[in-house]
Amino acid sequence: MVIFDTFLGGINQGLLWAIMAIGVYISYRILDFADLTVEGSFATGGATAAIIMTLSKSFVSKGAGEGILMSIVALIVAMLLGGLAGLVTGILNTKFKIAPILSGILTMTGLYSINMVIMGIGSGNIKANLGIGSTGTIFTKIEEFMPIGRNWIIFIVGILAIAAVIGMIYWFFGTETGSAMRATGNNEKMAKAQGINTQASKILGLVISNAFVALSGAFVTFQQSNASNTMGVGSIVAGLAAIIIGEGIFSAKFPFWVRLISVAVGSIIYRIIIAFIYLAGINTEYVKLLTAVIVVIALTIPLIKEKIAKRAGKGKGPKSKSSDGSSNQETARDNVTADADVSALSKTEDAVANGASSVEEV
């Protein structure tokens, strides 16, 4: 039973954190922007959700309906503030020409103070953390009329939330605006040449990314009944870990919606692993180091594979040298067939002869 609870707890954590991982996926993979705002905007989401529940305590305590309504309001406001953080980073980068990583760090650093101010609203002081255990959240309020256990409620809400998020993102990146955003991240020069306002694309992408990160922060705050200004520390690495684990399971050849699901699955696997680390009694302070090491290993595996292949190629002498990288060979083959394709287009061969003769003449 303990094992099962740990398992379900890990899945729940994974579902709620998956929304953050998808936010990171938008900035890191789609926009090709290593956005560190995430570390701050995650806590902004948590702080916003916590303060809204605290300030509306008298309203929330009226009943389950009021509590759920207020929780949804808190989630929406958290998203708006997260989006605002993304907007700041976007403007720093595109309008003030500050490098992507530094733009994110600057916003993140600023948010560290802002988050404490948010949590201190109404108390006349700034606060480093804020508990909402006595107020109740969307999860405890649903439990009031659906007594199936907190973990199952979080599981159901988490599944619905992640499904909605994936649905929205899948739709958005299929639209003209979303498509322009993908082009901006893929090839900015091309995007500009096709009349895409790449600055606006980047800003909007960061707004959307950080809105989802903050939403995730708000959900996590609801789950643990507590927000703190350090809750986002290490979240970018956790997000990357989820993306990398997901990509390890699903190939990049799959359609976009499968890749979004793969990020969620990656996040769940990551959280299950962590849940069992906790269960094993390892000091939780080591988890971040472990995560960093896992991500480093995952990121270097392709490089190590390549090196091993190269060394193996050298060892076997010139004959196997061509097998250095099968991918190279493949592209070469691709080119050959492609060139043959192009030559099929030829109507006259004399154009080629012209090209050759001009060498001699000059």
From the list 125, 179, 300, 327, which residue makes contact with another protein (rule: CB under 8 A)? Answer: 179
2/362 with CB nearer another protein:
362
Question: Residue 168, interface with another protein (CB under 8 A)?
Answer: no
With contacts defined by CB under 8 A, name the span among 61-69, 189-197, 265-273, 311-319 that binds another protein. 189-197
> What are the CA-CA distances from residue 72 to residues 35, 131, 292 (Å)?
27, 18, 33
Q: What string of DSSP letters covers 33-88?
A: ---THHHHHHHHHHHHHHHHHHHTHHHHTT-HHHHHHHHHHHHHHHHHHHHHHHHH
Assess 123 for contact with another protein (CB under 8 A). Answer: no
DSSP line for 17-32:
HHHHHHHHHIIIIIS-
Find out whether 229 and 222 touch, Cβ atoms under 8 Å: no
Q: Which is nearer to another protein, 152 or 172 (CB)?
A: 172
Q: Does 346 bind another protein (CB under 8 A)?
A: yes
C-beta of 188 vs 324, nearer to another protein: 188
Cα→Cα distances 230→42, 82, 227, Å: 9, 16, 9
Instruction: Compute, in degrees rounded to 10, the torsion defined by CA atoms 154, 157, 160, 162.
Output: -60
Instruction: Establish if 183 lies at the interface with another protein (CB under 8 A).
Output: yes
Question: Of 253 and 319, which CB lies nearer to another protein in the complex structure?
Answer: 253
Query: Would you count residue 1 as binding another protein (CB under 8 A)?
Result: no
Which is closer to another protein, CB of 285 or CB of 349?
A: 349
CA distances from 337 to 126, 331, 341, 342 (A): 66, 10, 6, 9
Nearer to another protein, 58 or 337 (CB): 337
Within 8 A by CB and 6+ apart from 196, the residues are 180, 183, 184
Beta carbon of residue 261, minimum distance to another protein (angstroms, whole number): 19
**Segment lying near another protein (by CB under 8 A), choices 97-105, 114-122, 181-189, 294-302:** 181-189
CB of 176 to another protein, least distance (A): 4
Binds another protein by CB under 8 A, chosen from 190, 282, 289, 304: 190
In the bound complex, what is the minimum distance in angstroms from residue 254's beta carbon to another protein? 12
**Segment 191-250, which members bind another protein (CB under 8 A)?**
191-198
> What does the block give as tokens for 331?
């592209």
Q: Contacts with another protein: how many residues (CB under 8 A)?
A: 44
Residue 350 carries which side chain, given as an amino acid letter?
D
**Residue tagged 């000059």 (tokens):** 362
Considering beta carbons, is residue 160 or 352 the nearer one to another protein?
Answer: 352
User: Where does this chain touch another protein (CB under 8 A) — which range of 58-66, 92-100, 270-278, 347-355?
Assistant: 347-355
What's the closest the beta carbon of residue 352 comes to another protein, in angstroms? Answer: 5
Tokens for 291, please give them. Answer: 């995560």
User: How far is CA 125 from its chain centroid?
Assistant: 33
Total number of residues shown for the chain = 362
Residue 344 binds another protein, judged by CB under 8 A: yes
What is the CB neighbour count within 10 angstroms for residue 36?
21
Q: Is 328 in the site for another protein (CB under 8 A)?
A: no
Residues contributing to the site for another protein (CB under 8 A) = 172, 174-180, 182-183, 186-187, 189-198, 334-335, 337-339, 341-347, 351-352, 354-359, 361-362
